[in-house]
Amino acid sequence: MSTPSVLITGAGIGIGAACAEAFAAAGYRTVLTDVLHDEGEAVAARLRDAGHDAVFRPLDVTDTAAVTAVVAETEGEGYDAVVANAGIVRRRGFTELDDAEWSRTLDVDLHGEMRVFRAAVPAMVRRGSGSLVALSSVSGAALGWAEHVHYSAAKAGVIGLARALAVELGPHGIRANALAPGFVRTGQSLDVVNSMGEDALRDSVSAIPLRRVGEPADIADVALFLASPAARYVTGQVVVVDGGLLVQQR
Ligand SMILES: NC(=O)c1ccc[n+]([C@@H]2O[C@H](COP(=O)([O-])OP(=O)(O)OC[C@H]3O[C@@H](n4cnc5c(N)ncnc54)[C@H](O)[C@@H]3O)[C@@H](O)[C@H]2O)c1
């Protein structure tokens, strides 16, 4: 059997970097991409030093031509898995939310995922298999998040993207699932201006049945499962990974 391959966006830090570690450790040829060149290259170098097959390519997921070029250059006979993880979050009250900020968030968080899937799917169709993992959020799956209407709309859109792709691509042997993390300790969630910050993260623990904030590896392991043959009959689903946050009775 040939070595499986994965493309990961936003792989320089946070959940994306943890996905790179998890897929590499599982024996995947791992292609890391990010707008953060130094961070992405450092993760890839660390994986190579550990004996894994890993490369980094600079990639801004808002650039259609660049997405297409990076996928074409790296996909070989077609990716086994694509993890669309790159994302941004900006706090903005609804009445202050101008068109530019709305569009910017949708462009990265929703359109960016669509672009990378669209580039990778033709080769997956030719080989008759593939798995698409789309990072959503509990804010797209179930929760409303004040001052984050644009983010919540994008992350809900990701779920529609995964469901529709599951139906359209299932006959070609391609699965598509949305992965919805709860509160995970990363640069994004620790950003007190645009997201929760350290204090709010700590305060959230009492609402989480497992009594801890998630770590990037908690999400990466589920992304790896969704990409793997162990999830061969799972498609069109929203897999919530939140320590029980959404089912906690308040
Ligand atoms: N951390 C959480 O609690 C949490 C919760 C739910 C969902 N998520 C989602 O998980 C994903 C990863 O989040 P994270 O917490 O690791 O965030 P993070 O900020 O730590 O990492 C995000 C990554 O995306 C990259 N990125 C941003 N804009 C990009 C662009 N235009 N092109 C390419 N890469 C770009 C960043 O450079 C960074 O590497 C995001 O989609 C996020 O919305 C995170």
Query: Is 151 annotated in the active site?
Result: yes
> Is the minimum distance from the CB of 43 to ligand 1 under 6 angstroms?
no
Q: What is the pLDDT of residues 46-97, one digit of tens each?
A: 999 999 999 999 999 999 999 999 999 999 999 999 999 999 999 999 999 9
d(CA 131, CA 103): 28
Q: Dig out the tokens for 225 from the structure.
A: 């499962």
Q: Rounded to the nearest whole angstrom, what is the distance from the C-alpha of residue 8 to the centroid of ligand 1?
A: 11
Structural domain boundaries in the chain: 5-238
Give which of 63, 80, 67 is closest to 123, Cα–Cα.
80
> Is the minimum distance from the CB of 34 to ligand 1 under 6 angstroms?
yes
Q: Rounded to the nearest whole angstrom, what is the distance from the C-alpha of residue 146 to the centroid of ligand 1?
A: 19
At residue 249, the pLDDT reads 85
Q: What is the pLDDT of residues 103-162, one digit of tens each?
A: 999 999 999 999 999 999 999 999 999 999 999 999 999 999 999 999 999 999 999 999
d(CA 85, CA 40): 13
> Is the minimum distance from the CB of 120 to ligand 1 under 6 angstroms?
no
Give which of 107, 131, 91 is closest to 239, Cα–Cα.
131
Q: Domain 5-238 carries which CATH code? A: 3.40.50.720
Task: Please list the alpha-helical segments (H only) found in 50-137.
Answer: 64-74, 99-106, 112-127
Predicted TM-score (pTM) of the model is: 0.98
